[in-house]
Amino acid sequence: MAEPKTRITATDPLDYIASVEPERRREEGQILDALFRRVTGEAPKMWGPTIIGYGTYRTTYASGRDVHWMRTGFSPRKAKLSIYLMGSYCDDATSARTAEMLARLGKHSTGKSCLYINTLADVDMAVLEELVAASWDAMARLYPE
Q: What is the DSSP string of 20-50?
A: -SSHHHHHHHHHHHHHHHHHH----EEETTT
Within-domain flag for 4: no
Pairing of strands 109-110, 114-117: antiparallel
Within-domain flag for 2: no
Within-domain flag for 3: no
Within-domain flag for 83: yes
Nearest Cα neighbor of 57 from 46, 74, 75, 72 is 72
Within-domain flag for 68: yes
Per-residue model confidence (pLDDT) at position 59 = 84
Within-domain flag for 1: no
3-state class (DSSP) for residue 127:
helix
3-state class (DSSP) for residue 14:
helix
Per-residue model confidence (pLDDT) at position 39 = 98
**Tens-level pLDDT at each residue, the chain (145 residues):** 455 678 999 999 999 999 999 999 999 999 999 999 999 999 999 999 999 999 999 888 778 888 889 999 999 999 999 999 998 888 888 888 999 999 999 999 999 889 999 999 999 999 999 999 999 999 999 998 7
Instruction: Count structural domains, the chain.
Output: 1
Compute how many other C-beta atoms are within 10 angstroms of the C-beta atom of residue 130.
18
Within-domain flag for 116: yes
Residues 6+ apart with CB under 8 A from 30: 17
Range of the domain at 29: 13-142
Residue 103 sits in a domain whose CATH number is 3.90.1150.200
CB of 60 closer than 8 Å to CB of 143: no
| Phi, psi dihedral angles at 32 (to 5 degrees) | -65, -40
Question: Cα separation of 123 and 50, whole Å?
Answer: 22
Within-domain flag for 6: no
Question: Cα separation of 96 and 92, whole Å?
Answer: 6
The length of the chain, given as a count of residues? 145
